Structure 1
Amino acid sequence: MLNYNVNQPFPHHPTSHHVVVHPVDPYVVETLKSVIGKYVVLETTRGRIDGCVVDCKPDHVILDVYGKKFFVRISEIVWIMPN
């Protein structure tokens, strides 16, 4: 019988495998890269934001909104509308 004490780390088995999860949506990244330098409207889980796409990375997009830079997580984007 296994005995686990409170506040003790969970025992790791020598054959355990680590799984790394990368929340990347390649189609959204590809779409955002295709509109770099263009004005877009993004609907996010927190609301709508519009501006010029400055750059796109696998996990976030950078928008220029009236001279201010906004870093938006791609996982938070619901839809994209190029203008």
Structure 2
Amino acid sequence: MYHQNYYAQYGKVSHEPFNPSQVQTISSIDPYVVEALCKLAGCFVLLETTRGGIEGTIIDVKPDHVLLQLHNRQACVRIAEIVWTMPL
């Protein structure tokens, strides 16, 4: 029911039931940011994200996220959420 109301609100009426298998995730990859983060692998950095700053050592970089070592734990940060980076 929510599916129909949502699309009706935006002028697109669908009478078919919602099928989660038809949902596509679209993610943009910024190759320049990925390349810059790869060059900083092993370095202690500050990543400023849309939710605040995170300091840690870059362990690994993938096309959509970076893995940071934060003292005794690890954090996975989506690259799409990174505003800027700075080596410390």
**TM-score computed with the length of structure 2 as normaliser:** 0.72
Unaligned runs of 5+ in 2: 1-12, 18-23
Unaligned runs of 5+ in 1: 1-5, 11-18
- What is the percent sequence identity of the aligned residues? 49
Q: Which residues of 2 match residues 59-70 of structure 1 at below 5 A?
A: 59-70=64-75
Change (3 A) 1:46 1:20: closer
In structure 2, what is the equivalent of residue 32 of structure 1? 37
| DSSP 3-state at the match of 1:58 | coil
Q: Mark the structure with the bigger radius of gyration.
A: 1
Q: Return the structure number with greater relative CO, CA threshold 8 A, min gap 6.
A: 1
More helix by share: 2
- Alpha-carbon RMSD across the aligned residues, in angstroms, is 2.1
